[in-house]
A and B are shown apart, each in its own frame.
Chain A
Amino acid sequence: MQNHGMAVAVAAAIAVALGGAAFWLYGHGEGAKLSLSIVFGALFGFILQRSRFCFFCMFRDWLDERDPRGMLGLLLALGVGMAGYALIFGAWLPDSSGGRLPPQAFIGPVSVVLVAAGLAFGVGMAISGSCVSAHLYRLGEGSPTAPFALIGTAVGMAFGFLTWNTLYTSVVVAAPAVWLPATLGYAGTLVAGFAVLAVLTGALLRWKNPRLPEPPRSGNVAHAIFIARWPAWVGGLAIGGLATVAYLRVAPLGVTAELGARSRQAAGALGILPSRIEGLDTLRGCVIAVGDALLTPNGLFVISLVLASFAAALVAGQFKPVPPRLAHIVKGLSGGVLLGWGAMTGLGCTVGTLLSGIMAGALSGWVFGAAVFVGIVVAHRRKGWLWRPVAS
């Protein structure tokens, strides 16, 4: 796209199409959820693209440059979302000790299987250069790796379904789904959660690189919103807020439910899956739905995410399609398989299990997050042995 005016026109057309679809669906019976899924998906894609909210990049900036800004943005998103979720929970389940779990929140079973899933996901992030949500928004930027990483993710999920029954019956079935407010109460969970965030923030600031380059200042508001990269903290604030309203109205933020359902459908059609996936349809998490419907809330959410990211990248001049080389394909596919296996086995990815889980006060969110971090550190440090890095 050489002509910026043309790019802006295409982006405007996408925005109108998304808005029009949301508007049309709203008036049709059960369509309110689908309509909101389009709106939330588009906002998520826009925020991710504009603030380059990529979990792996945040970890990598810290590991390589001791640049804490991305990580601080992530911690801010968690803090805002934790407060937002607590506000909603307090209305829905006034007494958190009653033995019930809040509906649809991502509160997964905590076991060694979750740790293994997080490690695999972290290694997959380091190899493919992103997590699933970042591959989705990079798809809209024309990334040469993202399509293969997403194909790999679907394949990895099918592997996940294959290993699930064994893991479920031997480990997961007895693993507790720990919801912190059930024991600590909402206030206690917030205090504990904010304390952890404060300690992590302190550590990031204590060991940060004192000579980080200042980001360029942008002149006017339109430039700051549509062209310049948002500071990570703006993205963090926006994602925390979006996570809260998305949970209030439709479902927690998550990007792998539809991918998981389609992968399960495809693998089922090929006859390589056990016909019964034990326990999965009763667990709470990202990868549970068996998709029959053509339009599901999560399907529309993901499609809108990619389209909005594409539109945002066009306007910002960041849509730069690169023809894939072999290294992109290998990295994408191999990392993607690990991402897919991890996301299926961990019942979600860095958005569902980590972000939405931690916001919901689920121990599984913290455990998955820690395992992902370890996986990234190990794989990132050993990258010279494992593969030759290429620009993504």
Chain B
Amino acid sequence: MIKQTIWAGALAFAAALLPTGASANPLVTTDWLEKNLTNAKVRVVEVSVEPGQFERGHIPGAQNIVWHTDLVDTVKRDIASQEKFQALVRKLGIDKETTVVLYGDNNNWFAAWGAWIFSVYGLNDNVKLLDGGRKKWELEKRPYDNRIEAVKPSNVTLAAANTKLRARLSDVLGVVNNKSNVTIVDIRSPDEFSGKIFAPPGSQELSVRAGHVPGALNVAWGRAVNPTDGTFKTADELKKLYAEAGIDGSKPIIVYCRIGERSSHTWFLLSKILGYDVRNYDGSWTEYGNSVGVPVTNLAGTVWGGK
């Protein structure tokens, strides 16, 4: 009895430390965020793709992450090293007690990529997405600010990268060669999946083969989103959507796209909203489709004729 009381007390104490309403839910609402902008335990960070967007107006008090330099190794193709990411997180004043709320443009694609990296480096319980990102914030006519607040750096020490959240080419090939019982989810458009096109128009990063990883299931990322405000569909709707495509969480999952960003969006919802066991294959089609000797399914039969 005494033990139970102590436990209950400890839990209540832990809950009191957490910002209100942000407990286990991986998403925060625009309403909640606006009420918690001055909460010292909350750090709001924008991860957008369009340059100048953050500077011209961001959620008041937000910090900025530039995804193509801060979150990656700029020389070899890889995510930011533990050392580099730790330096960034320290600069942003984030420690293990901070609730990190990420948001951005383009339906939170790059914010979701950021959330995946935070999770890889052990901040999985800290990181949340602002549901709807910039789109919903603007639709609701909430204010922006263009001043940048100074934050006190932290001295957090991050864990080594959690390999359970990240799939490599060898993992994907292991599945393809029937060595493991895993569902692969291709979140690109149906035309990329079928091999009609190599990449969406305007894409710099290409592969020299069209099609998809054999056995992969195609659920385009956008189907998980309410188009009007960019929010995720409800957990029940998402569960149903993916179950209809044959993804019910009974088996481990690997998600991929073209360069690993959009698939982070699906990774986020499958792993953090639905609680499935999911790895993001950030090498994605630009690695797989350029690899020599790997099996490919190309339904459309498009032949590479690069000049």
Residues of A within 8 A of B (CB): 91-94, 100, 102-104, 248-249, 251, 275, 281, 290, 292
Contacts and interface: CB of A to CB of B under 8 A. Distances in A.
B201 to A, nearest CB: 8
Interface residues of B, number: 14
A104 B51 contact: yes
A216 B56 CA distance: 43
A275 B204 CA distance: 12
A102 B56 contact: no
Given A103-B52, A248-B56, A92 B202 contact: no
Pick the 10 closest A-B CB pairs, nearest first. A103-B52, A92-B55, A103-B51, A104-B52, A91-B147, A103-B55, A94-B148, A91-B146, A104-B51, A275-B307
Contacts of A248: 56, 146
A80 B279 CA distance: 53
A103 B48 CA distance: 13
Nearest to A100: B66
Contacts of A91: 146-148
B16 interface: no
Contacts of A249: 56
A87 B55 CA distance: 13
Nearest to A284: B51
Nearest to B69: A100
Nearest to B50: A103
A92 B58 CA distance: 11
18 contacts: A91-B147, A91-B148, A92-B55, A92-B146, A93-B148, A94-B148, A94-B150, A100-B66, A102-B55, A103-B51, A103-B52, A103-B55, A104-B51, A104-B52, A248-B146, A249-B56, A275-B307, A290-B202
Interface residues of chain B: helix, strand, loop or mixed (majority): loop
Contacts of A251: 52
Contacts of B56: 248-249
Contacts of B54: 103
Contacts, number: 27
A350 B271 CA distance: 53
Contacts of B150: 94
Interface in B217-244: none
A93 B55 CA distance: 8
B242 to A, nearest CB: 30
Interface of B: 51-52, 54-56, 66, 146-148, 150, 201-202, 204, 307
A268 to B, nearest CB: 13
Given A103-B54, A104-B51, A104-B52, 6 more contacts: A91-B146, A91-B147, A94-B150, A103-B51, A103-B55, A275-B307
B179 to A, nearest CB: 39
Contacts of B52: 103-104, 251
Contacts of A290: 202
Contacts of B55: 92-93, 102-103
Contacts of B204: 281
Nearest to A290: B202
A305 to B, nearest CB: 22
B51 A92 contact: no
Nearest to B306: A275
Contacts of B51: 103-104
A249 B52 CA distance: 10
A100 B68 CA distance: 13
Contacts of A275: 307
Nearest to B54: A103
A199 to B, nearest CB: 32
Of the listed residues A92, A104, A275, A292, the one surrounded by the most CB atoms of chain B closer than 10 A to its CB is: A92
A275 B147 CA distance: 41
B167 to A, nearest CB: 29
A35 B56 CA distance: 16
B88 to A, nearest CB: 12
A290 B52 CA distance: 18
A165 to B, nearest CB: 15
Contacts of B66: 100
Contacts of A103: 51-52, 54-55
B148 A292 contact: no
B147 A292 contact: no
